[in-house]
Amino acid sequence: MSFLLEIEKLQKKRTPFHERKFFWIKVVLVLFTLGSGVLPLSYRTLSSLTLSLLFVSLILIAGGGRLLARLLVLYSVLMIFILPFSFLGGASITYITSISIYTVATFSALTFFVISTPWSQIEEVLGDNVIVYAYRMLDLSIRDLQRVIESYAARGAEVTALKPWRAVPIFISILYLTASVRITTLEDSLKARGISG
């Protein structure tokens, strides 16, 4: 199963984390995680490690173990390319470790938020505004991306974490699709609601 379909499946689950009463707690936790990046290095490392463990645990409890494993493999592949350049650029091991742990914390926080918060819940809590439309657009873009991946797979193309360059045509297709169709649709719907940009 594709990780995009797995995200959609996890969003439809009904765990305590999916309930509306946890919405603001999740938002505060995500904002705290993002904000921890401005802490001094030693505090950032400790808080990021703690938050990483918290969100990884929450993802596992929510049933996202397989998704988490796939995302960690993808993250590891990316880090294999990034780390040598960081060392060549003169970054210290302490700094690279801190940034790597912070990245895992933010990525896992956002992953947990996405898998446990359907867009309809955001719309229900926040009403009609730009944030809701942006999140809905992300949801629709994920569905479009899944269709593009299935289309390329039907033609024999397969994208794996170990061969990420095969994803270039897919990303070009989804960028075109998003830019030409979704933005026009979103603009028309915002105008129909009386929101002008």
Per-chain mean pLDDT for the chain: 80
Model confidence band, residue 50 (pLDDT cutoffs 50, 70, 90): very high
pLDDT of 1 reads: 45
pLDDT of 42 reads: 82
Place of tokens 């996202």: 64
pLDDT of 97 reads: 85
Residue 149 has pLDDT above 80, yes or no: no
What is the per-residue pLDDT across 84-109, written as a single tens digit (0 to 9) for each? 888 888 888 888 888 888 989 998 99
Q: Which class for 178: exposed (0-12), middle (13-18), buried (19 or more C-beta within 10 A)?
A: middle
pLDDT of 109 reads: 92
The answer for residues whose C-beta is within 8 angstroms of residue 88's C-beta and 6 or more apart is none
Q: What is the pTM of this model?
A: 0.70
What is the per-residue pLDDT across 24-41, written as a single tens digit (0 to 9) for each? 899 899 999 999 888 888
